[in-house]
Amino acid sequence: MLLTDDQIQAASTYNRKEFDADRLTDEHLAIAMAAFQEANGLTVDGMAGPKTQAALEEANESEVEPEDPVLPGLPEGKGMFVRALSHTGEPAEMVQKMKDHGLTWVCVQRIWQYEDKESSFRNGERMAEYAAAVNAAGFGFWIWGYHVLGKQEEFAQVIFAAVDDASADGIIIDPEKPYKDTEGEATKLMHALMPGCINRQILLGFTSYGAPWFHKNFPWAEFSTAHFATPQNYDKDNSLGTDYPTRSHDAYREYGFSIFVPASGAWGKTEEQMTALLANTPTPQGSIIWWDWYNADKDNLWGPVAAFEPEPCRTVA
């Protein structure tokens, strides 16, 4: 539907005022009608005759295609970040919990880099075993890592070895504080990762701060070459307003991102807070992920995860 009844009423009231103020003229209306007629293969005369009226009504009732592009290979449905596979139990237990709560993908950590010490490598020994169980159930298995400046080659080597070992569906990178006040470092990381993703025909996701307006010294635009963004719309205390997730996505768009798989919070909240945040979170691709499995267990927040149904939606401008 192009316009709802409320939108039609509001537009009609506005247009009437513009017409009464001589800012909107008969000529404008005739030109607008002619443009509609031309676009719909009607006789172009600018007059709203029966055929044009019927076409207008039909156009308003027709389904509008989503504005957000569809990208093959995106994670589908509901996902959960996993820091340690041990948090999920044995592979069969992990898969059963996914089934019980409607999860269709997981994103498991492989590497955490530090600026002042050696990197930590996680979940490598059993990654392939868990991935095989997840895949056998028809679910998606993704890999993520946290990185710092100057170690992009190590990051790429470790993350792609994990992808190959687990036959993973893709990777999500998590750049945060170390990249603030830098120029070119984010591009180096993207250059280190994108060829490997292309060669493997997998997607590269990017996750970071949910409120870019608080982090203006972060190189957002350099990371916008990622295939999709996962804004961390956690809003720990539900204090950023009901429109926070939408504002977050709009801010990301201003930096060049166009495809979104949002991250929501399953930590430090009540079930009511979690549900309220989810109710205001757009899921343009019909996909979402939560941080994280460990906290969902610890705080007993699986209920809102199971209840939420992400649905594709139009961009909220």
State which residues form the domain around 43: 5-61
Same domain flag for 154 and 289: yes
Can you give the pLDDT at residue 218? Answer: 98
**Residue 168 pLDDT more than 60?**
yes
Encode pLDDT of 193-204 as tens digits: 999 999 999 999
Better-scored residue on pLDDT, 23 or 7: 23
- For the entire predicted model, the pTM comes to 0.78
Classify residue 224: in a domain, yes or no: yes
Domain count, the chain: 2
Does some domain include residue 139?
A: yes
| Last residue in a domain, options 36, 61, 86 | 61
Residue 316 lies in a domain: no
* % of the chain residues with pLDDT over 90: 74
Residue 62 or 22, more confident: 22
| CATH, residue 146 | 3.20.20.80
Tell whether 56 and 128 lie within a shared domain. no
Q: 92 and 23: one domain?
A: no
Q: How many CB atoms lie within 10 A of CB 249?
A: 22
> Over the chain, what is the mean pLDDT?
92
**Two tokens, residue 208:** 């970071």
Does position 317 have pLDDT exceeding 60, yes or no? no
pLDDT in tens, 97-121: 999 999 999 999 999 999 999 999 9
Q: State whether 253 and 109 are in the same domain.
A: yes
Q: Is 1 helix (H, G, I), strand (E, B) or coil?
A: coil
Residues 246 and 168 in one domain: yes
Q: Where are the alpha helices (DSSP H) in the chain?
A: 5-20, 26-39, 50-61, 91-100, 127-136, 152-166, 185-200, 220-223, 244-254, 271-279, 293-298, 302-307
- 118 and 36 in a common domain: no
Which pLDDT does position 316 carry in this prediction? Answer: 37
Q: Is the distance from CB of 245 to CB of 281 less than 8 angstroms?
A: yes
pLDDT of residue 111: 98
* Domain presence at residue 51: yes
Residues 57 and 100 both lie in one domain: no
Q: Which of 275, 189, 175, 268 is nearest to 229 (CA)?
A: 175
**303 within some domain:** yes
My answer on whether 252 and 109 are in the same domain is: yes
- pLDDT, position 69: 60
**In 3-state terms, what secondary structure has residue 280?**
coil
* Domain-embedded: residue 140: yes
Inform me whether the pLDDT recorded for 135 exceeds 60.
Answer: yes
pLDDT tens profile 237-258: 889 999 999 999 999 999 999 9
Same domain, 48 and 156: no
